[in-house]
Chain A
Amino acid sequence: MGAIANFLHAIPLELIIIQTINGVVTGMILALIASGLTLIFGIMDVVNFAHGELFMLGAYVGVVIVAVTGSFWLGLIASALIVGIFGAALQIVTLRPLIGRDPLNTILATFGISLVLQNYALWQFGPVSRKIPDPMSSSFTLFYLQYPWYRIVIALLSAAIIGGFYLFLKYSKFGVWIRATAQDRVMAQAMGIPVPLVYTGVFAIGSAMAAASGVLFAPTTGVDHSMGLDWVLKAFIVVVVGGMGNLGGSILAAIFISLLESYAAIWLDPSQAVIVSFVALILTLLFRPTGLFVATPK
């Protein structure tokens, strides 16, 4: 015990705080992506492999719109709308014909979509990463760093979007439709709820959320065709650890996993820090396969 205490003392408190903040910021973005993924799975039983690519597309659309209009916020909103509509079209063309078939088919179909989208982005935009300029360049002094305000804004905005979505789900008419469909698809239909439309709408919302995360995240790193891959993997881990279909669980899991990786990055190379999330996944699957943040294991 003493050795551990000494070990922890050796890490400067400031580093821990900085990494905590970083972890929470990344966690909120991850939560936004994972929410869309878990929503789509919970309502439609579709494992959307293309989710990372929707994130990536959103970022690229943001790049284009910001370049043309100069406004970051316009880019954010427009990207969410455009990718949302694109997602709806995608669902109608490729996923609707597969409803009722073996779930293997949708996994494969969304995987195919992700390949096509990735290669399209590579072809259209080239291998050099693009950038979206920071919408606000001010920063505050955090210990020995100049910490950009923008990162805090990302976290707050993500939280706001998720919160807004939660309210939508709870109180609006379409929200009731979504929840009813999730619980009993057949009776929802018998009550006049147009379930095929609900599915399309849910996919559109999930896509829009992914796109928004892409635009929000873009100024902190570059935008390139493979950015979706890393995030979709992390998002899947989050969704499984948080409990598939469990919105609250995914959010908690997202922050949890991001914090883990953030702290691990103190000692490990960032590309190796991902191992902790893998370990978290394996442990969850071994001991609590329904999810770490699910109230009672089913």
Chain B
Amino acid sequence: MTTAPLDKPMQIGKARLNHTQIFWIGFCVVMAVLIVAPLLLPEFWRRFLTESLIWGLLAMSSDLLIGYTGMVSFGHSAFFGLGMYGAAAALIAVKPPNLWLAIMFGLAGAGVAALFVAYFSTRLRDIYFAITTLIFSQIFYVIIFTWTEVTGGENGLIFDRPRLSVPFVYNVRFTSTTLHWFVLAVVAGSYLFLRRVTQSPFGMVLQSIRENEPRTLAIGYSVARYKMVAVMLSGLFAGLAGVLYAVQNEFAAPNFVFFLTSGETVIYNVIGGIGTLVGPIVGAGFFQLARELLSRFFGDQFPYLIPLGIVFIAMIIFLPQGILGFARRWLNR
């Protein structure tokens, strides 16, 4: 009896599906559900779903660092916040507000922050890096909070949502449904892109860094460069999430830059399952849903972070691989 290689379809009587086919079928099913959903859901839940996707994108960007490179960063609130404020700057400064300009400004803002963090990422390990990224978030927070003339300080900035405009093709306002589809397209596209990245030789080196950094260095890889690129990528996608948030909610506020946002992002990662890319999206959704349900059941003032925090701690102790952790190997093939 010869055994067939694992990645080829196995012929046992009926044709069986191989891994790639199963993945794409699953992906299409999920996409179909998410595309149809806004048509069926009431307004509140439509926006809720969109916003969960945005937080999911943020969490996914963080997973590139935590799950694949093994670097814990509390700096994502800085990337997210600067993406948000960058977009705000474009939407306020240039009339009529232009979507693509907002994206560019936002990415530029996040890119600057990422450059900062990337530099330090190469000189610091583990705990020092985590603490430093936290401090960076706080530096940006203080600057944004106190530089009231430019950033609106405590009150943040309010602006108008741009129209979806493709030059010479069309120019329409976003409805909450079309905005949802736009966000979905961006998030799905980001996922597929990041998946390609993690499965590429580059991604393999990142994972090797996570497993055993000294050995990776000894083999001859320029670990510092790989880390910097990872941080830049992660920062850019986090900034993209910030832009989407600004576009959806039409405001920018400093509290998103506070390091607690990074902390919550990391929570989504852990709950959903690190190293899976899609797990953090699930984690974000789960967390937002739990929070919404808890406040509906127990009232607005209910400190939802107490039970959710306890769940988080319990998961670290008993289920560190997260909700989708069991599927981690499968999702990465």
Contacts and interface: CB of A to CB of B under 8 A. Distances in A.
In the complex they form, whether A and B have CB atoms below 8 Å apart is answered with yes
Nearest to A124: B303
Contacts of A272: 142, 146
Interface residues of B, number: 34
B126 A103 contact: yes
Given A105-B316, A271-B146, A116 B309 contact: yes
B124 to A, nearest CB: 6
Contacts of A167: none
A252 interface: no
A45 to B, nearest CB: 9
Contact of B128 (A101, A112, A240): A240
B4 interface: no
A119 B142 contact: no
Contact of A47 (B131, B139, B270): B131
A289 interface: yes
B186 interface: no
A160 interface: no
A169 interface: no
Interface in B102-155: 120, 123-124, 126-128, 130-132, 134-135, 138-139, 142, 145-146
Interface stretch (A170-178, A192-200, A274-282): A274-282
B320 interface: yes
B306 A120 contact: yes
A155 B238 CA distance: 44
B320 A105 contact: yes
B63 to A, nearest CB: 13
A285 B120 CA distance: 8
A167 B3 CA distance: 70
B53 interface: no
A274 B135 CA distance: 11
A118 B264 CA distance: 14
Contacts of B316: 98, 105, 108-109, 112
A105 B320 CA distance: 8
Contact of A112 (B301, B303, B313): B313
Interface residues of A, number: 36
A47 B72 CA distance: 13
B317 A94 contact: yes
Interface in A108-122: 108-109, 111-113, 115-116, 118-120, 122
A271 B306 contact: no
A39 interface: no
A184 B138 CA distance: 36
Given A116-B305, A275-B142, A289 B128 contact: yes
Interface string A250-286: 0000000000000000000101101100100100011
5 contacts: A47-B131, A109-B313, A109-B316, A109-B317, A111-B266
Interface of A: 47, 94, 97-98, 101, 103-105, 107-109, 111-113, 115-116, 118-120, 122-123, 233, 236-237, 240, 244, 269, 271-272, 274-275, 278, 281, 285-286, 289
Given A115-B263, A240-B128, 9 more contacts: A97-B317, A107-B130, A108-B270, A108-B316, A109-B313, A116-B306, A119-B306, A120-B303, A240-B131
Interface of B: 66, 72, 120, 123-124, 126-128, 130-132, 134-135, 138-139, 142, 145-146, 260, 263, 266-267, 270, 301, 303, 305-306, 309-310, 312-313, 316-317, 320
